[in-house]
Chain A
Amino acid sequence: MRRFLLILIPYAWLLALFLVPFAIVFKMALSDIAVARPPYFPQFDWAEGIWVFLAELDFENFVWLTEDDLYWKAYLSSLKIAAISTLLALLVGYPMAYGMARAPEQWRPTLMMLVILPFWTSFLIRVYAWMGILSNEGFLNQFLLWTGVISAPLTILNTNWAVYIGIVYTYLPFMILPIYAALERMDGALIEAAEDLGCSRLSAFWLVTFPLSRPGVIAGSFLVFIPVLGEFVIPSLLGGSDTLMIGKVLWEEFFSNRDWPVASAVAVVLLLLLIVPIVLFQRNQQKQQEADR
């Protein structure tokens, strides 16, 4: 009985804060836009009964998502930006994690601290700081002009470049930490054994170090990819008008168009899209736990 109570709490939490809101959003996605408050139709009316209400719902908004090419282009562009950002974060994060794992033992807590330190400042403030750095009169352009590398300021802010810089910067710790965890517990004698058996430094890395850090690489990639897919703040603050991401489209449908039903449909599809990588991520974690045992 007590065990039942114990698992009841997280399940009640999930039900109240995830499943019920999702049901509301899903219902909204099946409704039609209306000039009313709230701005959709039908509303549930006790007098008419549940069947009349249900008969008014339809999938017309989901059909609309396939008819207007804005939506699938936005989904595709989000997938592309998420994939490229993940790859960039991996290319930047792996060497950092490797360096941390190879650093002298007494340095590691400090290096770890430096990776986590940005979290102590508000995420929004850090994104605004990047606007200051990347703008035409920003620190980066001033510095490059001062060194003479360029003669006219570069336009970085409000392009996809700025979005990539912002995303990689923000999500880098999520890439570094799992890779570091995988590399740090690796026995150094494995590399010596590989060299002893005829590997050069480089081939020892590819044949031993990298395969052993793969669970960390996979975990880190998902931890970056999944939130970036629905990212809204970074593309809307750092991106330009041509930066197409589904999170931005969602925001515009909701607040600019006040088309709650279509916005809800966009959100439902985004959630379904995210289920695939989340399930894959869970399987990777589970496999790793089994291997550790």
Chain B
Amino acid sequence: MSSPEFAPWDDPSAQPLIQFKNVTKRFGSFTAIDDLAVDIYEREFFALLGASGCGKTTMMRMLAGFETPTSGQIMLAGQEIGAVPPNLRSVNMMFQSYALFPHLSVWDNIAFGLRRERMAKDLIKARVEEMLRLTRLEKFSGRKPHQISGGQRQRVALARSLAKAPKLLLLDEPLGALDKKLRQETQFELMDIQEKTGTTFVIVTHDQEEAMTVASRVAVMDEGQIIQIATPDKIYEAPNSVYVADFIGDVNIITGTARPNGAQQYDIHWSEGHAPLCAQSVSTFSDGQSCHLAIRPEEVLISAEKPENADNTMQGKVLDIAYLGNISTYHVELPNGTVVKAQIANTRRISRRAFTWEDPVWLSWAASAGVLLAK
């Protein structure tokens, strides 16, 4: 089934489901959220990514209704919800600790929210069974939370928060308590369930890989502000700042001054005794402006001989090799002490590797490989 690409954020006529309008939240003198504005659209899987203390949890708790903004407005489907208590908004949350009621069975946990709506018994039964099917928990419906595994508990928490068919589902580090393998499986399950139910998901996580895997858009936060909002590929390939480039994946940052050299071409003077680097950039830099060149390690080629026709070349020696199985990361020290990381896929057996520690090597990359950043 092919469908047009899902990108309501590019459609100026689309109505956002959630709007943060200049929201600020202060705890005493500490500003957790600083004049934040963001739109989240229906059916989106929106990830809030950031280090701990960046304000992502506060933002989620404001959406859930556990915190009220100090100033600004939060709109849900066109209605201001800033002061609406959590039990009166069509938003449900999946807690980091899962917060399953230990005295209730799996069935009763899932039915808990439905019973508060005084729904008819047979409707509750039908809905709970639908949720049990969706999360493959039919066999465990009679068990208490302490009688099931961590992964099953995670699915109960998800089923319980989805049971009321909320307009918006919030997930607070939903996979944090699972081991790595289970986490990866569950990520795909989450995406699957999000697609099936058509619910808008907002996920909070500090794990950039998780955010990149599940989300349609990622917001990188720092100190109560959103640094960049974009699709995972744009965030990775076109970060707007050193902070984002550094936070998402591995990156080499080379700081220097820019000298225009033709249309969208710049020479980067970065170190005495080294030839200027050649970089392309769509954003303009003035002559002599300081800049940062961000290059992903997988864009840097490493070879024993000096490569021909490369835009940028430099020589160094291998300082360290991190062998990760499918790939290896080489830390190469340049004569001036700078360490550049280069990553190559291990297509051959490791014993046939062309170079090892202390070997002199050549690094090279294309002018279009890096991203030139002002800050």
Contacts and interface: CB of A to CB of B under 8 A. Distances in A.
Interface of A: 187, 189-190, 192-200, 203, 207-208, 211-212, 291
Contacts of B103: 211-212
A285 B100 CA distance: 23
8 contacts: A187-B99, A192-B86, A193-B101, A195-B86, A197-B87, A197-B160, A207-B112, A212-B103
Contacts of B112: 194, 197, 207
Contacts of A200: 87
Interface of B: 64-66, 85-87, 91-93, 95-97, 99-103, 112-113, 116-117, 146, 160-161, 164
Given A196-B64, A208-B101, A212-B102, A189 B116 contact: no
A289 to B, nearest CB: 13
A208 B115 CA distance: 14
Contact of A187 (B91, B97, B117): B97
A206 to B, nearest CB: 12
Contacts of B97: 187, 189
Contacts of B113: 197-198
Contacts of B96: 189
A293 B67 CA distance: 35
Contacts of A207: 112
B116 A203 contact: yes
A192 B157 CA distance: 13
Given A192-B99, A196-B91, A208-B101, 20 more contacts: A187-B97, A189-B95, A189-B97, A190-B101, A192-B64, A192-B86, A193-B93, A193-B95, A193-B100, A194-B112, A195-B65, A195-B66, A196-B87, A196-B161, A197-B112, A197-B161, A198-B164, A199-B116, A200-B87, A291-B146
B119 to A, nearest CB: 11
A212 B99 CA distance: 13
Main SS of the interface on chain A? helix
A197 B66 contact: no
B116 A197 contact: yes
B93 A196 contact: yes
Contacts of A187: 97, 99
Given A190-B99, A211-B103, A199 B87 contact: yes
A189, A203, A211, most chain B CB atoms within 10 A: A189
Report the 9 A-B pairs with minimum CB-CB distance, sorted nearest first. Answer: A198-B116, A197-B113, A193-B99, A189-B99, A195-B86, A211-B103, A189-B95, A198-B87, A196-B93
Nearest to B116: A198
A197 B164 contact: yes
A287 to B, nearest CB: 12
A115 B277 CA distance: 73
Contacts of B164: 197-198
B87 A195 contact: yes
Contacts of B93: 192-193, 196
B76 to A, nearest CB: 14
B66, B99, B101, most chain A CB atoms within 10 A: B99
A110 B85 CA distance: 33
Contacts of A193: 93, 95, 99-101
A208 B108 CA distance: 12
Given A189-B95, A203-B116, A196 B101 contact: no
A198 B112 CA distance: 9
A199 B118 CA distance: 12
A209 to B, nearest CB: 11
Contacts of A196: 64-65, 86-87, 91-93, 161
A190 B87 CA distance: 14
B92 A195 contact: no
